[in-house]
Structure 1
Amino acid sequence: MAMKIRLARGGSKKRPFYRIVAADSRMPRDGRFIEKLGTYNPLLPKDSEDRVKMDLERVQYWLGEGAKPTDRVARMLEAAEVLPKTERNNPKKAVPGKKAQDRAEEKAAKAAEASEAPADEAPAEEAAAE
């Protein structure tokens, strides 16, 4: 049985509230779970102690049993110093999209043409002045 430690959404519309649960990965997100391990309330301020509550002993147990945390839960566990911090690498995050790159190239080409045109006219003006 493939176990996951993940978030199960609760709360009403536009007012999310999550339970941190240990569940079989084949079950629906908000469906059957084996054990509730804690809660997460994203509406509270980030520095609030009540934002994330976890039973760390049970989390350690499930990790020992082979449960894999989802990305968001893994970040919470890293913040609680249960898991070692992992370096995330997203090199494409800062790269603009293809259309933005095309626009930047066109703008650079126009700027280059504009800077060359006055440079060509300047020697012609000097020759006319003599």
Structure 2
Amino acid sequence: MIRLARVGARKQPHYRIVVIEKDRARNGRSIEVVGTYNPRTNPASVDLKRDRIDYWTSKGAQLSDRVGKLLANAPVEAASAA
């Protein structure tokens, strides 16, 4: 599953977007970190490794509701034609 893991100080949330087994704890050992999300900036900053997210979803990983919304709202980087 691809979901958020909370890090940061009390009342200052910052999240990692992680690939983790569904039955593990929220901040348990993850398989891979595929991005970050900081809701405290204006606008909220989202950094995603889209190629790794596509890889894991092709292997059967499911997105959590929040990660799905972040992925849908994140700007798509234009691929540069070389």
TM-score (norm 2): 0.87
**Higher share of residues assigned helix:** 1
Instruction: Kindly state the Cα deviation for residue 12 of structure 1 after the two structures are TM-superposed.
Output: 0.5
Show the 5 A alignment for 1:107-122.
Answer: none
1:20 match: 17
1:68 match: 62
2:49 match: 55
User: Helix, strand or coil for the counterpart of 2:13?
Assistant: strand
Gaps of 5+ in 1: 83-130
**Higher share of residues assigned strand:** 2
Computing the radius of gyration from Cα coordinates, the structure with the larger value is 1
User: Helix, strand or coil for the counterpart of 2:71?
Assistant: helix
Task: Give aligned pairs, total.
Answer: 76
RMSD over equivalenced CA pairs, Å: 1.5
In 2, Cα distance between the equivalents of 1:20 and 1:56?
A: 11
Show the 5 A alignment for 1:1-130.
Answer: 4-46=1-43, 51-80=45-74
Q: How high is the sequence identity, in percent, across the aligned residues?
A: 45
Instruction: Kindly state the Cα deviation for residue 18 of structure 1 after the two structures are TM-superposed.
Output: 0.3
Higher RCO structure, 1 or 2 (CA under 8 Å, sep 6+): 2
Instruction: Kindly state the Cα deviation for residue 79 of structure 1 after the two structures are TM-superposed.
Output: 1.6
What is the identity, as a one-letter code, of the residue corresponding to 1:69?
L
Q: Is the 8 A contact 2:46 2:74 kept in 1?
A: no
Q: Cα gap change, 1:81/1:44 in structure 2, threshold over 3 Å: closer, same or farther?
A: closer
User: Helix, strand or coil for the counterpart of 2:55?
Assistant: helix
TM-score (norm 1): 0.56
Gaps of 5+ in 2: 77-82
